[in-house]
Structure 1
Amino acid sequence: PVKQNGIKRSETGESNKSDKTNGDCGANGANGIGGLVRVPTTKPPVFEPQVGYRQWVAQAGTLIADLLTCAGADHVITMDLHDPQYQGFFDIPVDNLYGRHLLRKYIQFNIPNYLQAVVVSPDAGGAKRATAIADSLGMPFALIHKERRPTQINDRQNATMMLVGDVADRTTILIDDLADTSNTITRAAKLLKKEGATQVVALITHGILSGDAIDRINASALDKVIVTNTVPQAEHKARCPKLEVLEVGNVFAEAIRRVHHGESISVLFDYS
């Protein structure tokens, strides 16, 4: 499919977000900046909790970075970029805050006997993120390996999944940076329950939840899905009783304050 501006979407299938979500995020961000830079005394950093077009091909990512810069942005603050290399598209400073500290705190205070639970990465690409949380809390770790067979590019059902680790009779905690169609986490939950997990909780930074993702979660083996509000969640929460939302506004507010006053934001990468 092609956007109205002629930019083709990446053909990576399950990770792409809806046209509306991406378009609104990029265009609205640029429009907001334009309105602010017309006031000479106001030069705020761009507040982009979940950067639109993040999973697009490099050409489109560069275009959006240039769009924000040309609109007047001189600093971007975001959280959990799907690919940290996205920062290289910008010619201005980009601070990529971590959401894993919020997820870690949720585990500590909301998962009973969390030290007996197992942190699970739903794919190999997210293993580093999940192990960082598991290691910081002294929890066991498991990995779901996906093997994609050579079939049609959009046929996602032909990826076989294999669990590496033991989850029998334990609570399992899926860690991922984003959920769009929710195919990955719902299929992972089904596998974990099949392998003997007593409960499956998914902790996600960016809950895009496009299309029929909410219906898929409601019908899945997932017991809870925890997301942050880097993406508005009011509509999703009204339709999904399994959904809980973590507030990230205070983290971004402190980052904006520190940038505005020329202070270091390094402390925000280690907050507890």
Structure 2
Amino acid sequence: MNPGEKAGLVLLAGNSHPELTKQISEKLCERVGISNVYHKSNRETVVDIQESVRGKDVYIIQTGTKNVNNDIMELLIMSYACKTSSCRKIIGVVPYLPYCKQSKMRKRGAIACKLLAQMFKNAGITNLITIDLHQKEIQGFFDMPVDNLRASPFLIEYIMKMIPDYRNAIIVARNANSVKRATSYAERLRLGIAVVHGEERIPDSDLDDGRHSPPPQEEEEENRLSRGIEIMPMLTPKAKPPMNVVGDVAGKIAIMVDDMIDDVEAFVATAELLKSRGAYKIYVMATHGLLSSDAPRLLEASPIDEVVVSNTVPHDIQKMQCHKIKTVDISVLLVEAIRRTHNNESMSYLFKYITSED
């Protein structure tokens, strides 16, 4: 290839989201390359790329679903197959990055997202296109360019077009971690904000396992007397008040915003609290609709009127189980990101009017 000459583009896809792959292919006016990705009887993943990728830029579309480990192995093996077939670049198009919630050290655990980033690099991926990482700092785990796109413009457009009298709405942060995101939505919609503060159900994984517990008071007193030195005072446990709403939601449309909705118990509990405070309609907006376990059943029986998510993750089965789930198509965002990446154009247009809080 001559210097400055643009490489050819090859679009490949795993088995995670065929519908999204089809939408991207049609809007990009590029056919999906021929490849076989299947599992043998012993559950090993086998990949067979059936066309030449030599000297070309390969874009592999693969998102995270309930079969998350299969999705990852398919992406890694496809990437490595293209790498060993002498392609020029491998760009992973991963709308929902698996393991992005495991981005912090918890007790004796591991930062699994960092491990995943290293696996991507070793498999040959040179660029990553994703949407709404759980924590923006995750980009620092990758030794490659990462384009963390935002789905908020599509969700805001849905609010303005599909929610009657949205001017009478208030954006609700479900917890302190969601305040920045809620503020970003509220500023662009010219709406007020409310924050839910207080104790939520504690996951079993976060319960104290004794690792950080202080010694019993009797043992501490004995140690202090035997050593004849002063030690730190007894630590008092942190206690949160009961759940409460900071802000007036009475007679308003409450719109909860978050990056993903997976286990819905906390959302349902917040919706019940908002309903008791006088909110007459309740919406949930999230980029990634994982909706695991019995989420559709819980949502159907909850005070939530609508759950609006993008199509970064397939959720057709959940939509059949719960009529409240609505989908916003973000395929055009990924198409434009692929086009700009391939043509070496600036990505700044895709972040126009996106605040640092979003």
Task: Please give the range of the TM-score, normalised by the shorter of the 2 chains.
Answer: 0.7 to 0.9
Structure 2 residue 244 is matched with structure 1 residue 162: yes
Q: Who is 2:320 aligned against? A: 238
| 1:128 aligns with one of 162, 170, 180 | 180
Structure 2 residue 166 is matched with structure 1 residue 84: no
Q: Say whether the 8 Å CA contact 2:284–2:306 is kept in structure 1.
A: yes
Q: Say whether the 8 Å CA contact 2:261–2:290 is kept in structure 1.
A: yes
Shift in CA distance, 32/248, structure 1 to aligned 2, threshold 3 Å: farther
TM-score, length-scaled by structure 1: 0.86
| 1:54 aligns with one of 100, 105, 120 | 100
**Which residue type is aligned with residue 202 of structure 1?**
V
**Which residue type is aligned with residue 63 of structure 1?**
L
Deviation at 1:199, TM superposition (A): 0.5
Instruction: Please give the per-residue CA displacement for 1:53-91, whole angstroms capped at 9, x wherever unaligned.
Output: 111155311110011111111000111111111111100
Deviation at 1:227, TM superposition (A): 0.5
TM-score, length-scaled by structure 2: 0.66
Distance between the aligned counterparts of 2:330 and 2:146, measured in 1? 18
Structure 2 residue 70 is matched with structure 1 residue 24: yes
**Which residue type is aligned with residue 160 of structure 1?**
P
Deviation at 1:247, TM superposition (A): 0.7
Moved more, 58-67 or 20-29: 20-29
Higher helix share: 1
Distance between the aligned counterparts of 2:353 and 2:184, measured in 1? 14
Structure 2 residue 276 is matched with structure 1 residue 194: yes
User: What does 1:1-272 correspond to in 2, within 5 Å?
Assistant: 20-41=66-87, 43-58=89-104, 59-147=111-199, 160-270=242-352
Gaps of 5+ in 1: 1-17
Distance between the aligned counterparts of 1:53 and 1:246, measured in 2? 23
Distance between the aligned counterparts of 1:182 and 1:149, measured in 2? 12
Q: Say whether the 8 Å CA contact 1:200–1:222 is kept in structure 2.
A: yes
Instruction: Please give the per-residue CA displacement for 1:87-124, whole angstroms capped at 9, x wherever unaligned.
Output: 11100011111111111111111111211111111111
Deviation at 1:271, TM superposition (A): 6.8
**Which residue type is aligned with residue 148 of structure 2?**
N
**Which residue type is aligned with residue 257 of structure 1?**
R
How many pairs align? 253
Q: Root-mean-square deviation (CA), in Å?
A: 2.4
% identical equivalent positions: 36
Gaps of 5+ in 2: 1-63, 105-110, 208-239
Bigger Rg over Cα: 2
